Chain A
Amino acid sequence: MKRLLVGTLCVALFAVIGSACLSSSGGSSGDAYEPSVVLLWNDVVTEAPSPHAVSPPRS
């Protein structure tokens, strides 16, 4: 059970946080859901891999 709890928290909390941000940004104004242009760009950028910071030089 512990493994489930940890896994769920790590995955679900960020998922919920992210979805709440998107929801609260007002994606629809009627019955049909049409993602706003901001949401679309947010999704496109989110799908890109994060830039990887390189290691600091060793002295």
Chain B
Amino acid sequence: MRTLYVVHVAMYDAWAAYDAKALGVHTGATLRRPEEERTDENKRAAVSYAAYAAAKDQLDDYEFDTGAFARALEYLGYTLDPSNDDPATPAGVGNLAARAVLEFRHGDLSGQEDNYRQVISDKYPSYYEAKNSPDPESGRCPGDENFDPNRWQPLRVPTGDVRDEYGFPTVNQNDEDSYEDQNFVTPHWGAVTPFALASGDQFRPAAPPQFGSDAPYTDGLGRTMTNDEAYREQVAEIVEIAETSPTAKKRFRFTGPTDPTAKRTAVTSSPSRTASPCATATPSTTTSKCFSRCRPRCSIPASRFGTPNAPTTTMRPVSAIRNLYEDETVICWAGPDRNKKEMDGSAWTPYQPLDFVSPAFPGYPSGHSGFGAAWAEIMRRFTGSDRFYDGETYLPGFDLNRDGLDDLIGQHIFGVGDIGFEHYPGYPVELIWETFSDVRRENGMSRRYGGVHFQDADLNGQAVGESVGALVFETAQSYWNGE
């Protein structure tokens, strides 16, 4: 996400040089070109040179190995010109725009130069130390006396070197090659300079419910109870979802077996591409502007939502359930292609790849929920409406489910087959989101279905995302309006 942000801001700043009033994020009006140079061809070239320079900086090893960015530049008809800093040429504008962005971002406390290793700063003056442990011999695992049910637990994740009787990755505690222990990924991210926010913690929500506390707590649905009651209720919800998922069924508009070909053929005969949300502006203008809105919110990595202020180094469901339901029988996903079965709560596992289990950072609030809500808020403001699916607007050239047909905006038809970590043998399912708000809610709820976040991590994450999206939109707007 950070990489995409950096590349898109570089492209935006290059584009802004050829606009009459837009200001670059890091170049202001310093690259402004005279009116006679403000051609589509110059914009296209400058944007490409900026993208190349930024992408190469962010992913230098990848470019060294593949040459993918140089090939893209060549594909577009340009030749490498990295030393050109003449603002009278599009290559120079692109290089200068990228340089300004990169100079700023290299000093934003992300730790980019050191592979994003934790950066010590005034905000985070010491290295993160996990209170719980992945080592079952440590005495700090679920069920142990010294396990803290309010703090994040790094997990011991199988590498795949050792397989179980079904051929799936498993951990052998006596074989160090069979597992890796998680470490908190980018625990320093709350100190990174944001695009629009005054600081990384500007919209950080209050702490989630605390196990063992009788203090009052108001949850994301507005209900007040004790912290402990809320904690237990939200853990129980994830256990119930894993067992039954009744609410999940209600949240989808199932159409059962579908014949998408017939439906789409009929609609394709009268395409309405102009209904695309941003279709009122010229492509080049709209593209640069929309991405400068859509992407800056992506400068927030998932781990940013769980920076190590005391209350936010919070538990994920897998650890909380294994602790709270130890010695109780639960019904849970039993692994790829093995459906659900009864098992001891200490063995509960989320519906995730076996060599992933849960992300390597705390779970509150949910970054996934935040990103989705930020996106929804920006799209709602950009289009002036909450409407998403209209049943007739296609995404020309996009076939995300690889069924050979263009996709309808706001719809996804999920086919039969491999879904990443197991096989789905059922019938195709049509998912439709009529509003951006629907997307936001479903996107957040998916984290509870997947067993990686609790209710308030989702709901409060959405609230954070909405606030971030609104501020990012206003900030981006001020740039291209030259304010």
Chain A residues at the B interface, C-beta cutoff of 8 Å: 1-29, 31, 33, 35-42, 44-59
Say yes or no: A23-B420 contact (C-beta < 8 A), given A13-B446, A40-B76.
no
Say yes or no: A56-B388 contact (C-beta < 8 A), given A3-B351, A23-B398, A45-B59.
no
Interface of A is mostly: helix
The 4 A-B pairs with the shortest beta carbon distances in the complex, nearest first, are A26-B286, A9-B446, A53-B116, A55-B183
A-B contact list, 11 entries, CB within 8 Å: A6-B446, A7-B351, A13-B439, A20-B410, A21-B291, A23-B276, A25-B287, A25-B290, A25-B291, A26-B282, A54-B115
Q: Give the complex CA separation of A28 and B393 in angstroms.
A: 13
Interface digits, B171-199 against A, CB 8 Å rule (1 contact, 0 not)? 00000000000011111000000000000
Q: Please indicate the chain A residues that have their CB under 8 angstroms from the CB of B72 in the complex.
A: 40-41, 44
Q: A47-B68, A53-B116 are in contact. List 9 more A-B contacts (CB 8 A).
A: A5-B245, A6-B450, A8-B412, A11-B414, A14-B443, A20-B388, A28-B283, A29-B282, A40-B75
Q: Give the complex CA separation of A8 and B55 in angstroms.
A: 31
Q: For the complex formed, measure the closest distance between the CB of A18 and the CB atoms of chain B, giving whole angstroms.
A: 8
Q: Give the complex CA separation of A39 and B397 in angstroms.
A: 12
Chain B residues at the A interface, C-beta cutoff of 8 Å: 3-4, 7-8, 11, 44, 47-48, 51, 55, 58-59, 62, 66, 68-69, 72, 75-76, 111-112, 114-118, 126-129, 183-187, 241-242, 244-245, 248-249, 252, 271, 273, 276-279, 281-284, 286-288, 290-291, 294, 303, 333, 339-340, 351, 372, 375, 379, 382-383, 388, 393, 395-398, 400-401, 407, 409-412, 414, 419-420, 422, 424, 426, 429, 431, 433, 439, 442-443, 445-446, 449-450
Contact of A48 among B62, B287, B333, B401 (CB under 8 A): B62
Q: Give the complex CA separation of A1 and B423 in angstroms.
A: 12
Closest to B44 in A: A37
Q: Please indicate the chain B residues that have their CB under 8 angstroms from the CB of A22 in the complex.
A: 395, 398
Interchain CB contact under 8 A, A25 and B286: yes
Interchain CB contact under 8 A, B252 and A27: no
Q: For the complex formed, measure the closest distance between the CB of B351 and the CB atoms of chain A, giving whole angstroms.
A: 5
Interchain CB contact under 8 A, B129 and A24: no
Say yes or no: A16-B433 contact (C-beta < 8 A), given A37-B76, A56-B128.
yes
Interchain CB contact under 8 A, B294 and A25: yes
Q: Please indicate the chain B residues that have their CB under 8 angstroms from the CB of A42 in the complex.
A: 4, 7-8, 291
Closest to B110 in A: A53
Interchain CB contact under 8 A, A26 and B48: no
Interchain CB contact under 8 A, A16 and B410: yes
Interchain CB contact under 8 A, A56 and B117: yes
Interchain CB contact under 8 A, B48 and A24: no
Interchain CB contact under 8 A, B400 and A19: yes
Q: Please indicate the chain A residues that have their CB under 8 angstroms from the CB of B58 in the complex.
A: 45, 51
Q: Give the complex CA separation of A8 and B351 in angstroms.
A: 12
Interchain CB contact under 8 A, A45 and B128: no
Q: Please indicate the chain A residues that have their CB under 8 angstroms from the CB of B3 in the complex.
A: 45, 48, 50-51
Contact of A13 among B7, B291, B372 (CB under 8 A): B372
Interchain CB contact under 8 A, A10 and B287: no
Q: Give the complex CA separation of A51 and B383 in angstroms.
A: 33
Q: Give the complex CA separation of A10 and B479 in angstroms.
A: 34
Q: Please indicate the chain A residues that have their CB under 8 angstroms from the CB of B186 in the complex.
A: 53
Contact of B51 among A9, A41, A56 (CB under 8 A): A41
Q: Please indicate the chain A residues that have their CB under 8 angstroms from the CB of B445 in the complex.
A: 9
Q: Please indicate the chain A residues that have their CB under 8 angstroms from the CB of B287 in the complex.
A: 25-27, 36-39
Q: Give the complex CA separation of A42 and B69 in angstroms.
A: 11
Q: For the complex formed, measure the closest distance between the CB of A55 and the CB atoms of chain B, giving whole angstroms.
A: 4
Interchain CB contact under 8 A, A27 and B283: yes
Q: Give the complex CA separation of A21 and B439 in angstroms.
A: 13
Interchain CB contact under 8 A, B47 and A38: yes
Contact of B118 among A5, A26, A56 (CB under 8 A): A56
Q: Please indicate the chain B residues that have their CB under 8 angstroms from the CB of A17 in the complex.
A: 372, 375, 439, 443
Q: Please indicate the chain B residues that have their CB under 8 angstroms from the CB of A10 in the complex.
A: 446, 449-450
Q: Please indicate the chain B residues that have their CB under 8 angstroms from the CB of A49 in the complex.
A: 62
Interchain CB contact under 8 A, A41 and B248: no
Q: For the complex formed, measure the closest distance between the CB of B331 and the CB atoms of chain A, giving whole angstroms.
A: 10
Closest to B63 in A: A48
Interchain CB contact under 8 A, A56 and B183: yes
Interchain CB contact under 8 A, A8 and B419: yes
Contact of B420 among A11, A15, A40, A52 (CB under 8 A): A11
Interchain CB contact under 8 A, B184 and A3: no
Contact of B248 among A5, A33, A53 (CB under 8 A): A5
Q: For the complex formed, measure the closest distance between the CB of B402 and the CB atoms of chain A, giving whole angstroms.
A: 11
Interchain CB contact under 8 A, A57 and B127: yes
Interchain CB contact under 8 A, A44 and B55: yes
